[in-house]
């Protein structure tokens, strides 16, 4: 499997992402934001976390206009698999590849800690190795992780099983750290080839670091090739 990882000025999780996929046996390539094309053998495109362009204007708002994003949009619209993590999720919403928006956390503070997530829908390649109702422990690290969508959009997400993960406690009960609508932590598009989440599965690959629950998430992509 070939995983292409985007890098913008301010991205800081590209090497964590590279390490995670290499540990799972994938080939990786980091692509700078000024590139106008993606590697032709890309099986999965990851928009990594960080603070692209310093999060000026809005998180992901400037990165959305980088030259590489035209190729990203074409790749996604042709059915290519795309994963946006944290700032990558923000970039994908700004680019219109995922519905909704990410805004400032309710508490107006940066949050960095491990947090439980409940699997809501596993009928997709990202979460197919997990079961609905499973609770996983994945780190979060964001200032603008408060997911928002209007009531019509929210209904559509639920009707199409596009809500993938919600913030919870260890027993799966709602525990919302940032004010996200319906405690949403991750979603996908209708076609289920573009995925976005605020938590960091690439940081949950080794028990010595607190959790290895990210492994099954990322393995789903590998097994889809």
Find the catalytic residue in 33, 142, 143, 200: 200
Please say if 120 is a catalytic residue: no
Query: Strands, DSSP E only, in the chain?
Result: 2-7, 27-32, 44-47, 81-85, 101-103, 111-119, 135-142, 146-148, 163-168, 184-188, 194-197
> Model-level pTM?
0.96
104-153 pLDDT, tens digit per residue, is 999 999 999 999 999 999 999 999 999 999 999 999 999 999 999 999 99
Find the catalytic residue in 18, 86, 120, 142: 86
CA dist 9 and 113 (Å) reads 24
Name the residue ranges covered by the structural domains of the chain. Answer: 2-222
Please say if 188 is a catalytic residue: no
Half-sphere exposure of 217 (CA within 13 A, CB side): 30
What the block records as the tokens of 221 is 């992509």
Please say if 200 is a catalytic residue: yes
CA dist 203 and 49 (Å) reads 11
65-87 pLDDT, tens digit per residue, is 999 999 999 999 999 999 999 99
Third-level CATH fold of 2-222? Rossmann fold (3.40.50)
Q: What are phi and psi of 20, to 5 degrees?
A: -60, -45
């Amino acid at each position: 499997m070939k995983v292409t990882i985007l890098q913008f000025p301010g991205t800081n999780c590209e090497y964590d992402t590279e390490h995670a996929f290499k540990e799972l046996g994938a080939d990786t390539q980091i692509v700078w934001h000024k590139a106008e094309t993606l590697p032709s053998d890309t099986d999965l495109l990851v928009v990594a976390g960080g603070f692209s362009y310093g999060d000026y204007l809005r998180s992901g708002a400037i990165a959305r206009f980088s030259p590489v994003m035209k190729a990203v949009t074409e790749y996604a619209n042709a059915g290519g698999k795309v994963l946006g993590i944290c700032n990558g999720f923000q970039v994908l919403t700004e680019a219109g590849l995922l519905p909704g928006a990410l805004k400032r956390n309710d508490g107006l503070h940066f949050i960095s800690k491990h947090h439980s997530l409940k699997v809501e829908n596993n009928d997709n390649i990202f979460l197919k190795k997990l079961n609905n109702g499973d609770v996983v422990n994945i780190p979060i690290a964001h200032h603008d992780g408060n997911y928002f969508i209007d009531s019509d959009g929210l209904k559509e997400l639920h009707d199409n099983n596009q809500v993938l993960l919600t913030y919870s406690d260890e027993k799966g009960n709602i525990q919302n750290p940032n004010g996200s609508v319906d405690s949403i932590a991750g979603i996908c598009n209708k076609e289920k080839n573009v995925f976005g989440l605020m938590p960091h599965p690439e940081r949950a690959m080794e028990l010595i670091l607190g959790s290895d629950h990210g492994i099954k998430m990322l393995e789903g992509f590998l097994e889809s090739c």
